Amino acid sequence: MSPPAIGEHSRVGPTKLLVVIVCYRSADLAIDCLRSIAPQVGEVPDARVQVCENGTGPESVTQLNHAIDENGWGDWASVVAVSPNRGFAGGNNVILGPAMASETPPEYLMLLNADTIVRPGALRALCSALDARPDVGILGPRLEWPDGTPQTSAFLDFTPLHEFIHSAATGPVSRCFRRGHGALPIADAPHDAEWISFACALIRCEVFQACGLLDEGYYLYFDDADYCRLARQAGWRVVHYPDARVVHLRGRSNPLKSLAAKRERRPRYWYLSRNRYYAKFYGRHRLWIANALWHGGRTISLARELVGNRPSSVCRAEWRDIWTNAWSPMKPHKPSDRQS
């Protein structure tokens, strides 16, 4: 694994807010994201942004640096290039690690997807909200589509029972076990959540000091659920704050959402992350119980599909893929596991 190559604009210094953007095959999206941030940088004292170009290649690094030069963003934006692709957690840690190791780490650190557009005033609103809530460790905005339609972005913890509900895909089952379902209702007022999407999340420096960096055992997915759970175990609240809004162009930078919607086969890394999460917080035997519950729920949905001549409600080969690495779920992923 090669050491980080620091972009020509990179700089280190005290700051209130450090925004971290991980970019892989999404330079155009990252530039649009920077463009949405540019008018807001002056609203938060000593704010800066670092983009981790996560293994796409030198052309992407050049494109990002050129955009920063051309638009005059060099006072607050910089690029760090690494190769190969380290995934979401690893890409963020490339920037989070040095920031947290500095003598004056940022007060707040924001994880922000490249496929986002930050609505006007959102940076200031999130920082002000965290200033006013010293017991909150992680704060997430309302994520929405470009037309303003809200997306679900606040959730309950994944549990083995969640697997039964998900695979059953039946209204009566979901209503019977409402507490076990993953998504919280969309709300207009701030509220606690067990985890929020890390498409955009504002995190206190003290949370990283207590919990460490992101777990690089997750290549993609489940890293946000994992880290929010660790933060809550350390005594911090996780809050969804819909007064601040961020557009999430979901599915533009990764095909997994569209694959799942079409019930196509998910990438291997998704199941590795899922199984790591269950083993980490429940133990390997409860991962196996979660898988058994998935199969129990699947008997219900399959019966409904056969009787009603309905399409499948689960992804192709999911019955087999949920057992990926089930014997050793905490084993590190390999480069071959990272293919989309």
Say if CB 58 and CB 26 are below 8 A apart: no
CB atoms within 10 A of CB 146: 9
Cα dihedral 156, 267, 171, 168, rounded to 10, equals -110
Q: How confident is the model at residue 338 (pLDDT cuts 50, 70, 90)?
A: low
Partners of 201 in the β-ladder = 111
Determine the pLDDT at residue 12: 44
Q: How confident is the model at residue 181 (pLDDT cuts 50, 70, 90)?
A: low
Cα dihedral 241, 243, 249, 251, rounded to 10, equals 30
Instruction: Return the SS3 of 20.
Output: strand
* Pairing outcome for strands 47-54 and 77-82: parallel
Distance CA 73, CA 70 (A): 8
Determine the pLDDT at residue 21: 98
pLDDT, mean of residues 301-326: 93
Determine the pLDDT at residue 176: 79
Determine the pLDDT at residue 5: 41
DSSP secondary-structure letter at 311?
A: P
Q: What is the pLDDT of residues 29-47, one digit of tens each?
A: 999 999 999 999 999 989 9
Q: Is the pLDDT of residue 180 over 60?
A: no
Compute CA 338 distance to the chain's CA centroid, rounded to the nearest angstrom.
16
CB atoms within 10 A of CB 200: 26
Determine the pLDDT at residue 332: 84
* CA dihedral (213, 85, 265, 286) positive or negative: negative
CB atoms within 10 A of CB 149: 8
Q: What is the pLDDT of residues 104-153, one digit of tens each?
A: 999 999 999 999 999 999 999 999 999 999 999 999 999 999 999 999 99
CATH number of 5-150+186-254: 3.90.550.60
Determine the pLDDT at residue 9: 39
What whole-number percentage of the chain has pLDDT above 70?
92
Higher pLDDT, 98 or 6: 98
Q: How confident is the model at residue 178 (pLDDT cuts 50, 70, 90)?
A: low
Provide the token pair at 19: 């925004």
Residues of the chain with CATH 3.90.550.60: 5-150+186-254
Distances (CA, A) of 146 to 41, 150, 272: 22, 9, 32
Distance CA 192, CA 239 (A): 4
Q: Is the pLDDT of residue 7 over 50?
A: no
Determine the pLDDT at residue 184: 92
Average pLDDT over the chain reads 91
Q: How confident is the model at residue 14 (pLDDT cuts 50, 70, 90)?
A: low
Instruction: Return the SS3 of 134.
Output: coil
Provide the token pair at 32: 């649009």
Determine the pLDDT at residue 8: 39
pLDDT, mean of residues 201-208: 98
* Pairing outcome for strands 191-192 and 237-248: antiparallel
Outline where DSSP puts E strands in 205-324: 237-248
Q: Is the pLDDT of residue 4 over 60?
A: no
Give the global pTM. Answer: 0.91
Distance CA 121, CA 127 (A): 10
Residues near 169 by beta carbon (within 8 Å), at least 6 away in sequence: 297, 301, 313, 314
pLDDT, mean of residues 318-335: 90
Determine the pLDDT at residue 11: 42
